[in-house]
Structure 1
Amino acid sequence: MEKEISKAEFKGISGGMGVYAQQDQKSFMIRLRTPSGLISKEHLNLILSYVHKYGLEKVHLTTRQAVQLHDLDIDSVCDIMEDGIDHDLFTRGGGGNFPRNVSLSPLAGVEKAEEFDVTPYALQVGNYFLGNAPSYKLPRKLKVAFSSDEKDTAAASINDMGFMAVSEKGIPMFRMWLAGGMGQGPAVAVTYPSLVRPQEVLYYVEAMIQLFIAEGDYENKAKARTRFIPRRMGTEAFLECFEKHLEEVKKTHQFEEIAPVVAEGMSSCEDLNGTCIAQRQEGLYTVILHPVCGQLAAQDLEKIAAFVERVEAAQIRLSMEEEMYVRNLTREQAEELQAMMAHMMQTPVARTLSCVGTPSCQMGILQSQKLCRGILAAVKEAGLCESRLPMIQISGCPNSCARHQVAEIGFAGRKVKVGDRSEDAFQLFVGGSVSGADTHMGELQGVMLASEIPQYIVELGKLLEQEEKSVTEIAECECFKELTEKFLVS
């Protein structure tokens, strides 16, 4: 590259194709749009072939159920894009002002508590976006989610548009949310007052697209997301506006309808442990693999690919927690895979997630990956009982790629002045939650120096063990406030 255009100009062109320059302005990242986190065995082997061909040490599993390849030159990026298209593995809409990868509960179709499998609807919307993305002129990105049940593992209640499977007098329906989102000016989504027939999902999605095009802010990028529209209009007026667009879409569009299939049967099997989940299907299990900080090493990818290749029924899905779910395993196969990947993180705190951060992320402020590894090392060195520390969610900047604002413990990177020096620091958020029953933001506690956070987590772990409480239970206690204040710089 001869740097003939600015970083912002390049991002404007490349973002919509899922390609971003890294901070050194010499290397590049490409985001492979694995649809709703579903990865076929063929695509897994294709990704592995890219790892081998371009000498990559790892791949990053994202918090939007995609796979990112980093540290590539621009020619390699173009080669991957071209080859991916030939194999139906796309990057279009992986960034920029486009609908993003449609998120999906990773246990959809095998979840014991689900009313029906929401996978077909997530894929239907994803395919619709892929076919129409070039024609949309959106103010900014738009995110849609499909959750299987009240656990809301696809974060339907904090997306621009979210659907959750429910049952109304035995009839499969969707609960729906609109205009939620993370980052600057976060908002829990607005609950739609009526249930939605699964067959009509695309009408509602297209109505939201049309509303966003008509009412979104094209002038102020900071307020160009859907969550700012009901703030400006008022919730009631926003819902009335949505209904008008929905009425028009139903007059002008004719979409294929997918009938829901009610989930039947229930396995008697129990979970083997926290990362080996009994499926609805009798005798089958899903194993959850969490690479450290979402960075899946090339040698681990090789082992996983070889394993699923010889297990005919095995399926792979990615989660929004940077995890890989290997599904449809017998108990013996599940135990074999867990033994093979015993170095993968098992306890909640060891499954801490982090965005890729600097120096890879062009928009990043701090090294979120460094903090993630620092916390895990400190916890291990202290010999803590890890059972009470939760998963920690770390974003390298306020953009909330790790959804720090709804985490039980969340951190967001920033710079602070300490004396005459600018120091690396993180805002601390505590007590957030995502669920169908109660999604709410965590409370901002203040700012901590990045260098002090691992020790804070160690002392917090000791306090939780001593008090025999979770973070949520202890957050209002004086002992928690005293400990936290010791580490705050502002």
Structure 2
Amino acid sequence: MPSYFIGRFFYIQSNLNTQTIIMQSFRSELENIENPVVQQDIIDLAEKIQLHKDGKIDDDKFRSLRLARGVYGQRQPGVQMIRIKLPFGRLSARQLVRIADLAEEFGSGNLHATTRQDIQLHYVSLDRSPELWAKLEQDDITLREACGNTVRNITASAYAGVDPAEPFDVAPYAEEMFKYFLRNPICQEMGRKFKIAFSSSEEDSALSFIHDLGFIPKVKTVEGEVVRGFKVLLGGGLGAQPSMAEPIFDFLEEDRLIPFSEAIIRVFDRWGERNRRMKARFKFLLKDLGVEEILRLAAEEEQALPNKSYAIPYADFQQASIPEEIYPEVVASELEEKFALWKEVNVNPQKQEGFFSVAIKLPNGDLKSDRARAFAAVAQKFAQDDFRVTINQGYILRFVNEENLPALFNALDALNLAEPGFDSLADITACPGTDSCNLAISNSTNIATVLENVVINEYPEYVKNHAMNIKISGCPNACGQHTIASIGIHGSSLRNKENKKTLPALQLLLGGGIGKDGVGYLGEKVIKIPSKRGPEALRMLLNDYETHAEDGEYYYAYFLRQGKDYFFNLLKPLANLTTLIPDDYLDWGYTTEYKVETEVGECAGVIVDLVATLFFEVEEKIGLSEAAVADGRYADGIYHAYAALVNAAKALLIAKEVKASNQVKVIQAFDKEYVQTGDVSVAGGSFEEFVLRINKQDPTAAFAQQYLAEAKAFTETLKEFQKKQEVV
């Protein structure tokens, strides 16, 4: 590790009251990381934690800083959730063991799989999070931009590369997209998060229709050659106001994939809402400006892009080895029925002849450390050392030889990981809810377990049903993706007017999902009922479907045929609060009476409008710009300098109590409040023209050096101007 980083880090540590043997061991962990950029990132997190403790960084700004590094506050005080970013859910056995070991050492010993193919660790001390990160990076596992106002984890179909329906493997594209935007200056401090997904076919198994950018692979023949490209969808999202993505290109050539995505993200960074958090997602910007204007603004960014064309190294995608040994085993007679069902619903043939993919159903996406280590050993023995976390919180093993299926089943069953029903009605997706999240209103995980048991024990035929699903979120924000479920549920509350007491409730949505043609459907809110009546609601819905649905009719189609009012009247008796019993005032898994306990959520960083903080950021961004230009990363250097100019302008606007909702309005307001009044002079006469040269020039060395020098001088001028104003 370079001596500069070590020296700086231990200068910081020498000033801490908490320097311990743990911190000394942390030094060796840093030295084992080869990438100096990663080392610096971890050191910065440790430094910022101490600056926050010392009162030199306020709570809101610190929240934004740590979220961009995967550190998320829990409902429980004093501990954090650490989100591990796994591009398209890809894991090796070694990485899974590393995560399992660290879950025990630093957290609760549980690995929680998420709907974005991440893994979360809970109950981690904030002080120890840099050390945890350092140990993860030794196996090439990052936390960077797993949370916050960033490009979140790039997701993709878990069967990418083995899907018989795919025109080609999308994993190399997802991987390159992940690498390209990681630590990219254009997406570090946007108004909100930005999500990207790659589906392997028109079936849209990665749910591209709910993403800010969604890609579906396509091929066409040009002059006798097969050309790869993508259907592009733009502006989808869930949350309290869900929106379907709009198809904008039927075929975008593969070398345009990253340039186009960067242009869109640049537009979002500059034009996206930054004051009203609930309106800050890209879907709202798309609605406000329209598709044509968004594409026009994206075209304006073309000249500033460092890559007008970007070739994806498709042939260089690293493939893990596949075990060749055959393990001739038989399944015990008492397990033959379970084995047959497991093969029917959890095992799928690959496009590679003789090989199968095997799905692992995980209740609530949870896997304890000891079982995770044993699972890693089984996976490495029977499958390719490249398995995937799925968007429904399970795992997929790939390249299992057909002859090894009985032996694999035996090994998985011994770990209680061979339960049939993956991605069926009996495989409920659920966010952590009130177990750990500040935003959750009522429980998600315990009610998910109860409803799964209803399906398995009372409606076993639905264990085979992959066309229906149940998804649960602890609040309307839809981390559990309830908006696109056949039966969607989000946590809520009800108030009994007679005794003025509050009880936990479930808001039911029906009719979401993906149709036979890959088209997505959003569920509709139908009714809110007490939580403890959830099992009875499920029974009523399934009994009704069995009685009145036509043969082969998907649930979304049945819902549309019957209509919302039909289902409201069906479930209305469950909403009657005159028949409440004492148990209704207890949430699932709790023994004390329910009360609503929510705080400010951390799904995205909060923008902090403090003059001193903004000027501190200006200095940091100028420093980053200087480093990037010196390193030959001219586009990055230009963008850092641009961000410094915007922050400096925003600081002076705040001093006048002028609020601007996006970067463009900051620039325009600064012209009006300072330039046009003669308080500040700008070369060329307009701050807007001065700043937005960024998208009217090629990112050459000469322009980067000039823009940086002028940004540095101008921000210093603004800083001195503000100091004089403070004295006055």
Normalization by structure 2: what TM-score? 0.62
In the alignment, what sits opposite 1:160?
212
Question: Are the aligned partners of 1:164 and 1:175 in contact in 2 as well (CA < 8 Å)?
Answer: yes
Go from structure 1 to structure 2 and tell me whether the alpha carbon gap of 1:12 and 1:461 turns closer, same or farther (over 3 Å shift).
Answer: same
In the alignment, what sits opposite 1:443?
524
- Answer yes or no: is 1:291 the counterpart of 2:365: no
Larger radius of gyration between Structure 1 and Structure 2:
2
Residue 315 of structure 1 and its aligned partner are, at CA, apart by 2.2
Go from structure 1 to structure 2 and tell me whether the alpha carbon gap of 1:410 and 1:212 turns closer, same or farther (over 3 Å shift).
Answer: same
Q: Secondary structure at the match of 2:282?
A: coil
Question: Are the aligned partners of 1:314 and 1:329 in contact in 2 as well (CA < 8 Å)?
Answer: no
Please list, as runs of the form range in 1=range in 2, the aligned pairs for 1:196-275 lying within 5 A after superposition. 196-245=252-301, 247-249=302-304, 252-254=306-308, 256-258=310-312, 272-275=343-346
Question: Are the aligned partners of 2:355 and 2:399 in contact in 1 as well (CA < 8 Å)?
Answer: yes
Go from structure 1 to structure 2 and tell me whether the alpha carbon gap of 1:463 and 1:185 turns closer, same or farther (over 3 Å shift).
Answer: closer
In the alignment, what sits opposite 1:82?
134
In the alignment, what sits opposite 1:414?
492
In the alignment, what sits opposite 1:456?
537
CA offsets 1:107-149 (integer angstroms, 9 cap, x no match):
1111000001111110001011114158633111111111110
Q: Secondary structure at the match of 1:192?
A: strand
Give the alignment partner of residue 332 of structure 1, picking from 403, 424, 428.
403
In the alignment, what sits opposite 2:556?
472
Deviates more, 1:408-417 or 1:429-438: 429-438
Residue 394 of structure 1 and its aligned partner are, at CA, apart by 0.4
CA distance in 1, matches of 2:296, 2:562: 43
The alignment's C-alpha RMSD in Å is 2.7
In the alignment, what sits opposite 2:245?
189
Q: Secondary structure at the match of 2:149?
A: coil
Question: Are the aligned partners of 2:163 and 2:200 in contact in 1 as well (CA < 8 Å)?
Answer: yes
Question: Are the aligned partners of 1:99 and 1:133 in contact in 2 as well (CA < 8 Å)?
Answer: no
CA distance in 1, matches of 2:111, 2:393: 11
Aligned residues: 479
Go from structure 1 to structure 2 and tell me whether the alpha carbon gap of 1:289 and 1:11 turns closer, same or farther (over 3 Å shift).
Answer: same
In the alignment, what sits opposite 1:266?
none
Give the alignment partner of residue 487 of structure 1, picking from 571, 574, 578.
574
Deviates more, 1:279-288 or 1:134-143: 134-143
Go from structure 1 to structure 2 and tell me whether the alpha carbon gap of 1:489 and 1:176 turns closer, same or farther (over 3 Å shift).
Answer: farther
Question: Are the aligned partners of 1:144 and 1:161 in contact in 2 as well (CA < 8 Å)?
Answer: yes
Question: Are the aligned partners of 2:93 and 2:377 in contact in 1 as well (CA < 8 Å)?
Answer: no
Question: Are the aligned partners of 2:68 and 2:144 in contact in 1 as well (CA < 8 Å)?
Answer: yes
CA distance in 1, matches of 2:572, 2:282: 36
Deviates more, 1:94-103 or 1:229-238: 229-238
Q: Secondary structure at the match of 1:413?
A: strand
Go from structure 1 to structure 2 and tell me whether the alpha carbon gap of 1:139 and 1:53 turns closer, same or farther (over 3 Å shift).
Answer: same
Go from structure 1 to structure 2 and tell me whether the alpha carbon gap of 1:481 and 1:338 turns closer, same or farther (over 3 Å shift).
Answer: farther
More helix by share: 2
CA distance in 1, matches of 2:165, 2:391: 19
Go from structure 1 to structure 2 and tell me whether the alpha carbon gap of 1:232 and 1:289 turns closer, same or farther (over 3 Å shift).
Answer: same
Residue 204 of structure 1 and its aligned partner are, at CA, apart by 1.0
CA distance in 2, matches of 1:140, 1:458: 39
Question: Are the aligned partners of 1:198 and 1:260 in contact in 2 as well (CA < 8 Å)?
Answer: no
Question: Are the aligned partners of 2:272 and 2:282 in contact in 1 as well (CA < 8 Å)?
Answer: yes
Question: Are the aligned partners of 1:427 and 1:444 in contact in 2 as well (CA < 8 Å)?
Answer: yes
Give aligned-pair identity as a percent: 27
CA distance in 2, matches of 1:395, 1:164: 27
Residue 194 of structure 1 and its aligned partner are, at CA, apart by 4.5
CA distance in 2, matches of 1:39, 1:48: 12
In the alignment, what sits opposite 1:267?
none
Give the alignment partner of residue 157 of structure 2, picking from 87, 100, 105.
105
Give the alignment partner of residue 510 of structure 2, picking from 430, 451, 455.
430
Give the alignment partner of residue 118 of structure 1, picking from 166, 170, 176.
170
- Answer yes or no: is 1:280 the counterpart of 2:351: yes
- Answer yes or no: is 1:362 the counterpart of 2:438: yes
Residue 329 of structure 1 and its aligned partner are, at CA, apart by 0.5
Residue 464 of structure 1 and its aligned partner are, at CA, apart by 3.0
Question: Are the aligned partners of 1:275 and 1:287 in contact in 2 as well (CA < 8 Å)?
Answer: yes
Query: Which AA in structure 1 matches 2:392?
Result: E
Go from structure 1 to structure 2 and tell me whether the alpha carbon gap of 1:473 and 1:187 turns closer, same or farther (over 3 Å shift).
Answer: closer
Question: Are the aligned partners of 1:125 and 1:202 in contact in 2 as well (CA < 8 Å)?
Answer: yes
CA offsets 1:69-123 (integer angstroms, 9 cap, x no match):
1122234433211211233211010101111000111111110000011111100
Residue 7 of structure 1 and its aligned partner are, at CA, apart by 6.6
Question: Are the aligned partners of 1:56 and 1:298 in contact in 2 as well (CA < 8 Å)?
Answer: no
- Answer yes or no: is 1:130 the counterpart of 2:186: no
Residue 319 of structure 1 and its aligned partner are, at CA, apart by 1.2
Q: Secondary structure at the match of 2:311?
A: coil
In the alignment, what sits opposite 1:372?
448
Please list, as runs of the form range in 1=range in 2, the aligned pairs for 1:4-19 lying within 5 A after superposition. 8=60, 10-19=62-71
Question: Are the aligned partners of 2:187 and 2:269 in contact in 1 as well (CA < 8 Å)?
Answer: no
Residue 41 of structure 1 and its aligned partner are, at CA, apart by 2.2
Query: Which AA in structure 1 matches 2:198?
Result: F
CA distance in 1, matches of 2:576, 2:111: 35
Q: Secondary structure at the match of 1:166?
A: strand
In the alignment, what sits opposite 2:723?
none
CA distance in 1, matches of 2:54, 2:508: 38
Residue 426 of structure 1 and its aligned partner are, at CA, apart by 2.0
Give the alignment partner of residue 350 of structure 1, picking from 422, 426, 430.
426
Query: Which AA in structure 1 matches 2:477?
Result: N
Task: Flag structure 2 segments of 5+ consecutive residues without an equivalent.
Answer: 1-48, 316-341, 578-728
Go from structure 1 to structure 2 and tell me whether the alpha carbon gap of 1:31 and 1:241 turns closer, same or farther (over 3 Å shift).
Answer: same
In the alignment, what sits opposite 1:172?
228
